[in-house]
Structure 1
Amino acid sequence: MKRIPTFEETYTLQSAADAAGRDFWFNSVVFTYQWWLLVAITIIPFLVWWKIVDRRRFFEITTYGLLIALFSGLLDAIGVEMDAWEYKYDLVPLLDVFIAYDISVLPVSYMVIYQYCQTWRSFAIAHVIVSFLFAFVSEPLLVYLDIYQLIEWKHIYSVPGYFFLAIFLRWVMGKLIKKSQSL
């Protein structure tokens, strides 16, 4: 019969792994070209978005983006925890999620589509395209740059995740907007 570790044993192992991860980040990640790239892809999308965002719908579009960030971060954390993928380089050593994508690249990309694709049809078509681009261009590029490592995952698995995240949260936004208008 397999022995199950106690909470204290699990905590000790996790604490040691966290300390090792921070040491690795401080000694091998920060200020590398990959780290600077992550700084850029965290900041630049927001600078572009700020120039093009529809100020009249600012609250709505930003709310949609925040929901994308929340759910993509949650799904990312689940994937890392389930050993589906891992990140060798990240912006900060404190979280097991890909902050540059979860709070910047994905939300900004999705907010731009949300802003410009007013019909469900155009929105869905745009997100099919973006889902394939993220899965088959962006992810392989991150693998090539040694930032992202697939463990028990294949790029094709990402396509429905990217797509349904956008569709589901647009549906949620529609419900929230309808509810707020009826108050």
Structure 2
Amino acid sequence: MTTIEKMDTHANETQEIVNKVIDLWQHEVVFSWRWWFGVTISILTWLFWIKFHNKESRYRLLLAGFFVMTVSVTLDALGVQLGLWSYRYEVFPTIPAYVPYDLALLPVVIMSLIQFKPHYSPIKKAFIFGFFTSFIGEPLIVLTDIYKMENWRIFYSVPIYIIIYLLAHWLTTRKEFIEIN
């Protein structure tokens, strides 16, 4: 069997598994309380941000938020694909990441922390964010049975969250923005 034939065989097997996951999602996940929890968190988080964000800093904060979304979805999908963790009650069955966390909760919390007490040390904020998210946020989502750690430990997440926060903060402090003519 050639490399191309092997890859085609694996692609077909993957498609069969995806179809089974979609079928399971349609019959047992969608509209369950855990699914509604994810949808509600996604909506309420963004409504909070719309109501309370600093309007003068909107675009700088959104730059940080979109950066966080991109990094978190990428890392989350990579972790799922590598078997480090898994999700059981996704809002969307075909995205290998937990959308309420990656596209709502994480970016909005980071944007809010950047905005709140802007002169407070970003390093201290990053460490607080990293520890709270890892040791409180992740265990809470594990308790709901939405998230399962396979080959991952909570303390592995701490430096990742710290770095994500610091990079997002750094993006909001750039003075290189110029006016477009």
TM-score, normalized by the shorter chain, greater than 0.5: yes
1:37 corresponds to which letter in structure 2?
F
Structure 1 equivalent of residue 25 of structure 2: 25
1:74 corresponds to which letter in structure 2?
T
**C-alpha distance in 2 between matches for 1:168 and 1:140:** 25
Q: Deviations over 1:98-133 (max 9, x none)?
A: 1000000000000001112423x5222222122112
2:127 corresponds to which letter in structure 1?
V
TM-score when normalising by structure 2: 0.91
The structural deviation recorded for 1:181 is 4.2
The structural deviation recorded for 1:179 is 2.4
Q: Kindly report which structure 2 residues correspond to 1:2-17, keeping only aligned pairs within 5 A, or say none.
A: 6-17=6-17
1:44 and 2:41 aligned: no
TM-score when normalising by structure 1: 0.90
**C-alpha distance in 1 between matches for 2:121 and 2:40:** 29
Structure 1 equivalent of residue 143 of structure 2: 144
Residues 182 and 50 of structure 1, relative CA distance in 2, 3 Å threshold: closer
Q: Kindly report which structure 2 residues correspond to 1:77-88, keeping only aligned pairs within 5 A, or say none.
A: 77-88=77-88
Structure 1: segments with no counterpart, 5+ residues: none
Q: Deviations over 1:24-79 (max 9, x none)?
A: 11111111111111111111111111111111111111111111111111111111
Q: Given that residues 110 and 166 in structure 1 are in contact (C-alpha distance below 8 angstroms), is that contact kept between their aligned partners in structure 2? A: yes
State the percentage of identical aligned residues: 28
2:175 corresponds to which letter in structure 1?
K
- Extract structure 1 runs of 4+ deviating beyond 6 A: none
Structure 2: segments with no counterpart, 5+ residues: none
Q: Secondary structure at the match of 1:6?
A: helix
Residues paired across the two proteins, number: 178
RMSD: 1.9
Q: Kindly report which structure 2 residues correspond to 1:1-183, keeping only aligned pairs within 5 A, or say none.
A: 6-119=6-119, 122-174=121-173, 177-181=174-178
